[in-house]
A and B are shown apart, each in its own frame.
Chain A
Amino acid sequence: MKIYFLPKDKVKLLVESVLDEFQVFGAKAKEMKFEFGKIDTAAELRLDYNTTILPPVKTFFPNDEKILEFKPNGQTTSVHENSKKVLFGVHPCDIHAIEMMDNIFSTPPEDKHYLERRKDSIIIGINCNTPCSDKILCYDKGTYKADSGFDLMFWDNGESYLVEVVTSLGNFLASKFSYFFNFFTEYSGDFHEFKSEYHKRQDFVFEKKLTRKISELPEAMRQSYESELWHEVGAKCLSCGSCNIVCPTCYCFDVKDVVDIDLAGGHRCRNWDSCQNLDFACVGSGENFREKSSQRNRHRVFKKEVYLPQNKGYSGCVGCGRCNTACIAGISLIDIYNNVFSEEV
């Protein structure tokens, strides 16, 4: 592991050089908010953003993704995208989400479409000095910091960043731009101490939102299966699906065919889908296995806090708060979790 100093006023230069060789994805301003997308100029990239409307992980799992191509000659081929990408400035919660999605899509049968996009990508993380909103659960979840899942990590150090290089890909990038990194000097202080000071400052400004420990959530949630709570949530929910679409750990999809105008060829693509849609679990005979909004809302939350912990050993929510912000009906996971905690005896 190497630690470099990077004066903040030199970041732009670094981004410019990276842009010369890689596709760069990062946060950029969009009206009053930020979006995560392809960066064309160094000036566009923002490292001081709060949160992005759509999460970074969607770079590897885009909506409307072409998966098959049908050629006019009748041939069908699998479509893969594997350009070298740098995701520049990913927050810890979103790093956790990428790690989770890596696991989901590499669980057999592997999903080559995600894995190819992901394969050569370099993740540059950036730690959060302050909470990005009051809708987040990252402090409860422990996802406000990340120990893995990134190649480089930026730590705010006042006038400079400390850049932590942890993986061989991170090393590759640092050596590729060695004239940069060596130009700025290596950090000579005690990095462990720096980190613990940094986290101590976070402890002052981040707050817990839940009334109980997150480790108690799966069991409390399990107990709530028949709770009245789901009917209350279901009655408010408009089944718009926004909560799923903005979520960095939602990966359900639908598959659709698109026929070219000449009708000769076309492609099959997958679209983000939402388990809140009425017909999500509807079969050909007309039977709908989650007909009620209360059932669908419970499924969304249970998938994250009961089924994934049970099947995979991790929660399917990194606490980024995007769903809570996106919901026009005012439904919030913070309220749901606290209700579940208060109900359990």
Chain B
Amino acid sequence: MEADFIKMETGYVPVEAKITKITQPTEYEKVFTLDFPHKEHLKFLPCQFVMVSIFGFGEAPISICSSPDDEEFQLCVRKVGSLTNKMHSLKVGDFIGIRGPYGNGFPVEVLEGKDLLFTAGGLGLAPLRSLIRYVLQNREKFGDFTLLYGARSPHDRLFADEISEWETSEFVDFHETVDIGEENWMGNVGLITSLFPMIGIDPEKTIGVIVGPPIMYQFVVREMLKKEITDKNIFMSLERRMRCGLGKCGHCQMNGVYVCQEGPVFNYVDVQAIQEAI
């Protein structure tokens, strides 16, 4: 796929996007579907993000959770602070500011012809969903597809409807777990690493992808290496504080690397050279 996302010459000026649909998968997360004035605003790569802006409440980087091949443009937002709390109070028909897309996005061409092992922890499923949907929409381009997802509790599971589809789908080998179970939960209980013994992969052909909370990376990398996936075949998307998305404000820096410019997607070989990365 070509990286034909638009260059925003406008600096900090956001585009007005209209909220056309809101769903609430969990107590703290909502999924917003947005409509843009021009269709070219919808061009992006999986794992890119946008700066969401509401005047008076600031800006925050939010990953695009829909696929570039989807009709709908979606963001999944967890309420944690100023901007995200305000966003949760908005209704269908309200407008929000969007600038971007920013970041390198996922180099989807490296996945073509390969077996895939995706690992998502918590809200990491949101950015990864973009890539998951893209893979499912272009299924013939990829080999075996294994998807692992770990949520804190059954209550915290995102995109439950899609998960039900993945569970029964012949196109993806899906496994999930929760850290803490509940009475009615019939599924796995345990950390995401506990899913690794259940899966069989061909390390020669497999690309591993990891998106999740900071604590998760070291542990999942270890599991992937145990499965003999090589360093250069492991990719991950990293989160940092971001105030500009333009490689200037300095907040997203890990050592000499600006995550908003060179990331958020990194190859594990590069990550090992960045002490502050994981």
Are A282 and B241 neighbours in the complex by a CB distance under 8 Å? yes
Which residues does chain A contribute within 8 Å of B241, judged by CB atoms?
A: 280-283, 289
Q: Which segment of B11-19, B135-143, B192-200, B201-209 sits at the interface?
A: B11-19
A184 in the interface (beta carbon within 8 A): no
CA separation between A303 and B252, bound complex, in Å? 13
A227 in the interface (beta carbon within 8 A): no
Interface residues of B in 1-57 (CB under 8 A from A): 7-8, 10-14, 55-57
CA separation between A225 and B276, bound complex, in Å? 11
Q: Which segment of A81-89, A104-112, A138-146, A165-173 sits at the interface?
A: A104-112
CA separation between A104 and B243, bound complex, in Å? 17
Are A311 and B256 neighbours in the complex by a CB distance under 8 Å? yes
Query: Nearest Cβ in chain A — how far from B198, in angstroms?
Result: 27
Bitwise interface map of B from 242 to 267 toward A, beta carbon under 8 Å scored 1, else 0:
01101111110111100000000000
A278 in the interface (beta carbon within 8 A): no
Which residues does chain B contribute within 8 Å of A74, judged by CB atoms?
A: 95
CA separation between A256 and B59, bound complex, in Å? 9
Are A112 and B248 neighbours in the complex by a CB distance under 8 Å? no
Nearest residue (CB) in B for A79 is: B12
A76 in the interface (beta carbon within 8 A): yes
Bitwise interface map of A from 287 to 321 toward B, beta carbon under 8 Å scored 1, else 0:
10110000000010011001110110000000000
Task: Assess A104 versus B248: contact at CB under 8 Å? Given A67-B12, A76-B13, A77-B13.
Answer: yes
Interface residues of B in 102-153 (CB under 8 A from A): none
| Majority secondary structure of chain A interface residues (helix, strand, loop or mixed) | mixed
| Majority secondary structure of chain B interface residues (helix, strand, loop or mixed) | loop
Are A70 and B55 neighbours in the complex by a CB distance under 8 Å? yes
Task: Assess A289 versus B14: contact at CB under 8 Å? Given A76-B55, A255-B59, A303-B253.
Answer: no
Are A78 and B10 neighbours in the complex by a CB distance under 8 Å? yes
Are A78 and B250 neighbours in the complex by a CB distance under 8 Å? no
Task: Assess A109 versus B246: contact at CB under 8 Å? Given A284-B80, A284-B81.
Answer: yes
B181 in the interface (beta carbon within 8 A): no
Which of A225, A254, A290, A306 counts the most B-chain CB atoms under 10 A from its CB? A254
B78 in the interface (beta carbon within 8 A): yes
B275 in the interface (beta carbon within 8 A): yes
Query: Nearest Cβ in chain A — how far from B62, in angstroms?
Result: 10
B239 in the interface (beta carbon within 8 A): yes
A68 in the interface (beta carbon within 8 A): yes
Which residues does chain A contribute within 8 Å of B248, judged by CB atoms?
A: 104-105, 111, 251, 253
Which residues does chain B contribute within 8 Å of A284, judged by CB atoms?
A: 60, 78, 80-81, 84
In-complex Cβ contact of B256 among A68, A111, A255, A306 (8 A): A306
B187 in the interface (beta carbon within 8 A): no
Supply 25 A–B pairs (Cβ within 8 Å), ascending by A. A68-B12, A78-B11, A104-B248, A105-B248, A111-B246, A113-B11, A252-B250, A254-B251, A255-B59, A255-B249, A256-B58, A259-B56, A266-B55, A273-B243, A275-B250, A280-B251, A281-B253, A284-B78, A285-B239, A287-B214, A289-B240, A303-B250, A303-B253, A306-B256, A307-B253
The 5 closest A-B pairs by CB, nearest first: A307-B256, A252-B250, A284-B80, A70-B55, A287-B214
A→B interface (CB under 8 Å) = 67-68, 70, 74, 76-78, 104-105, 107, 109, 111-113, 225, 251-257, 259, 266, 268, 270, 273, 275, 280-285, 287, 289-290, 299, 302-303, 306-308, 310-311
User: 15 more A-B contacts (CB under 8 A) besides A68-B13, A78-B10, A285-B239?
Assistant: A74-B95, A76-B13, A77-B13, A107-B247, A109-B246, A255-B243, A257-B56, A268-B12, A281-B241, A287-B215, A289-B240, A302-B255, A303-B256, A307-B256, A311-B256
